[in-house]
Amino acid sequence: MGLMTWEWRGRSAAKGMAALLASVAAIALSAQLANAQQAAQPADQTKKADEEKPAPAGATLLDKILVISRTGETAIESLASASHVDQEQLDRRMATTPNEMLLGVPGVAAQADARRVSTSINIRGLQDFGRVAVIVDGARQNFQRSDHGTQSTFYIDPELVKSVDVIRGPVANTYGSGAIGGVVFFDTKDAEDFLKPDETWAGSVTGRYESNGKGWTSSASGAYRFNENWDALGNIVYRNYDDYKDGGGDTVKGTGFDVLSGLLKTTIRPTDNSELKLGWVGSSDGWNEISGGVPVNDVDLKSNTFTARYNITDEDKSWLDLHINTSYNKTNLDLTSLVPLNRFDPTTGLPIVLPQGSTSTFDIGTTSIDIWNTSRFETGNVAHELTYGGDWAGDNVKTGGTAGGDSFYTPSGKRNVSGAYVQDKLTWEWLEVIAGLRYDNYSLKDDSRETSSDRVSPRITVGVSPFESAGLAGLQFYGTYAEGYRSPSITETLISGNHPAGVSFPFLPNPNLRPETGKTTEFGVNYKQNDILEAGDAFRLKAAYFNNDVDDYIEG
């Protein structure tokens, strides 16, 4: 493997834009140089020699705050099974795919197809149809296509991501409905991640070559600061990989991929205590699906996510910490058959042959809004962090094409899921209590059927730090009982028709399908200590025992 990085920086606004455009245009050059040269260069662009100053003796290590924490907690402080993967860890891993970003995170498994680009996340054995909420910059990723194997997938390039946060279990129910398995939040890069405080512009071009699969990656980034309250970032990534070889030296067909991804984001600060982020993340991908070593479908995929996030916090008004997130995610997947298709007619069950060139289309759009506020106050000696809010997400699924049958197995329809919640975090000396309630409501329908339901789900967590005066101030024990509520998806409820090939059997719709209710009990311990053997070192321990019980689990 080889890696090469070029970087441009400056303070002149007049020359900055020209240099920025030049750096982005250099992506084509970086691709060629990456193939020609394999000399390794440092991957972390932020650790230049003139910046590497030793930390002062006795300096305190600061843990990274969870992006998805709505009360400003770090992973080690949270009374839940939470993990944070920061930019430094991602740079060291040099991840090519989302599953490499999550490698080693406890209780998390990322399932990918042979190409490794489309990914589905499993947390504690729960997966698919929204059981794990995958969120990119506040936008739910709800794409789903019925097939053998995983049902729900998402698409995000690691080069665009600066951190990943994971919360396991339904304690994460303030982040949206249905996440009985947990939440995975991908936060993309900002201009501030490239610009130093005194810089106006910065550009970076990276090229990487990998020998197994003979693949290369080119990435170009440009950041510009218009003034102290307005900056912007653009990032484009192109990956081109051939089929890789397994441990026995045999080529694994269908493992190559060719994908173009991009990111645009601007941050505006209207006042000293408010911030607006507008962003777009997209990808364009094309490949051949392989069956029995033979290409059977030409696949074209386009995914676009648009987000707007606003926050206003006033230190003089402890009741105000308001967040408003809106988003729209659209994924289009088109299949064109490269061979005749042997299928059964979805209506009659009789065998039919569809000609080469038959098409299937899967278009899924998700619109969402998430609003919450945290008020901080005290009653007596008890500190409160009262978080309250609501969210709504709507899925609009359209499937069809000349192949016909796919619209039966991933049916068209609309689903609306909404919820409201209140959660209070109470802190008194060595005791911490989190109590919350969430209300969920859903409805889904197609042209002829409609169903709906609702439920209230509780959460109670108790944490104790009993050894504050015994030299173990960083030791904390906690216990949690939490419930979550997942409404059935459009496919699970409205699927109909006959199995498309091989053995014919019917799929029957079930409009009375009951939602899943997840009930989790968890006991855990957190421990953090600095300066154990020498100044500047740190020790972190997080361990938990849990038991998941899901009522009315829906099997595929």
Q: Can you spell out the DSSP letters for 369-381?
A: EEEEEEEEEEETT
Question: So what's the pLDDT on residue 34?
Answer: 35
Handedness of CA 352, 353, 354, 360 (dihedral sign): positive
- DSSP state string for 398-412: EEE-TT-THHHHS--
Q: Residue 299: exposed, middle, or buried by beta-carbon count in 10 A (0-12, 13-18, 19+)?
A: middle
Question: So what's the pLDDT on residue 408?
Answer: 63
CB neighbour burial string for 230-251, b if at least 16 within 10 angstroms, e if fewer: ebbbbbbbbbbbebbeeeeeee
Question: So what's the pLDDT on residue 504?
Answer: 66
Closest to 224 (Cα-Cα) out of 42, 28, 8, 48? 8
91 lies in a domain?
Answer: yes
Question: So what's the pLDDT on residue 138?
Answer: 92
Q: Residues 209, 35: contact at Cβ < 8 Å?
A: yes
193 lies in a domain?
Answer: no
**For the domain that residue 508 is a member of, what is the CATH number?**
2.40.170.20
234 lies in a domain?
Answer: no
545 lies in a domain?
Answer: yes
Q: 407 φ, ψ to 5°?
A: -70, -15
Residues 6+ apart with CB under 8 A from 409: 146, 147, 491, 495, 497, 500, 507
Radius of gyration of the chain (CA): 25
Residue that is written with structure tokens 């650790």 in the block: 47
481 lies in a domain?
Answer: yes
Q: Residues 440, 487: contact at Cβ < 8 Å?
A: yes
Residue 49 vs residues 44, 46, 53, 54: alpha-carbon distances, Å: 11, 10, 9, 11
Q: Residues 121, 166: contact at Cβ < 8 Å?
A: no
Residues 6+ apart with CB under 8 A from 549: 518, 519, 520
Number of independent structural domains in the chain: 1
Q: 453 φ, ψ to 5°?
A: -170, 175
Question: So what's the pLDDT on residue 35?
Answer: 36
Residue 496 vs residues 133, 141, 410, 511: alpha-carbon distances, Å: 26, 25, 9, 11
Question: So what's the pLDDT on residue 458?
Answer: 95
pLDDT tens for residues 53-100?
A: 444 444 455 678 887 777 778 888 889 999 999 988 888 888 878 888
6 lies in a domain?
Answer: no
Question: So what's the pLDDT on residue 354?
Answer: 78
Question: So what's the pLDDT on residue 56?
Answer: 46
Q: Residues 20, 201: contact at Cβ < 8 Å?
A: yes
Copy the structure tokens of residue 490.
Answer: 């459009």
- DSSP state string for 211-245: TTTTEEEEEEEEEEEEETTEEEEEEEEEEEE---B
- Spatial distance between the Cα atoms of 26 and 6, rounded to a whole number of angstroms: 9
Residue that is written with structure tokens 């050894």 in the block: 467
Question: So what's the pLDDT on residue 289?
Answer: 78
Residues 6+ apart with CB under 8 A from 141: 134, 135, 154, 155, 156, 305, 329, 366
Intervals of the chain under pLDDT 50: 13-59
Return the HEC string of 424-447: EEEEECCEEEEEEEEEEEEEEECC
Q: 305 φ, ψ to 5°?
A: -125, 125
Copy the structure tokens of residue 54.
Answer: 């030793």
Chain-centroid distance of CA 443 in Å reads 25
- Spatial distance between the Cα atoms of 84 and 292, rounded to a whole number of angstroms: 40
Q: Residues 415, 371: contact at Cβ < 8 Å?
A: no
pTM of the predicted structure, to 2 decimals: 0.85
pLDDT tens for residues 365-380?
A: 999 999 999 999 999 9
- Spatial distance between the Cα atoms of 336 and 361, rounded to a whole number of angstroms: 9
Amino acid at 273: N
10 lies in a domain?
Answer: no
> Which 8-state DSSP code applies to residue 191?
G
Q: By percentage, how much of the chain surpasses pLDDT 70?
A: 82
183 lies in a domain?
Answer: yes
- Spatial distance between the Cα atoms of 543 and 181, rounded to a whole number of angstroms: 18
Question: So what's the pLDDT on residue 36?
Answer: 35
Range of the domain at 412: 63-188+269-551
Closest to 187 (Cα-Cα) out of 139, 140, 222, 136? 136
Helix, strand or coil, per DSSP, at residue 171: helix
Question: So what's the pLDDT on residue 291?
Answer: 76
Task: Please provide the distance, in angstroms rounded to a whole number, between the alpha carbons at the two ends of the chain.
Answer: 41
Q: Residues 171, 482: contact at Cβ < 8 Å?
A: yes
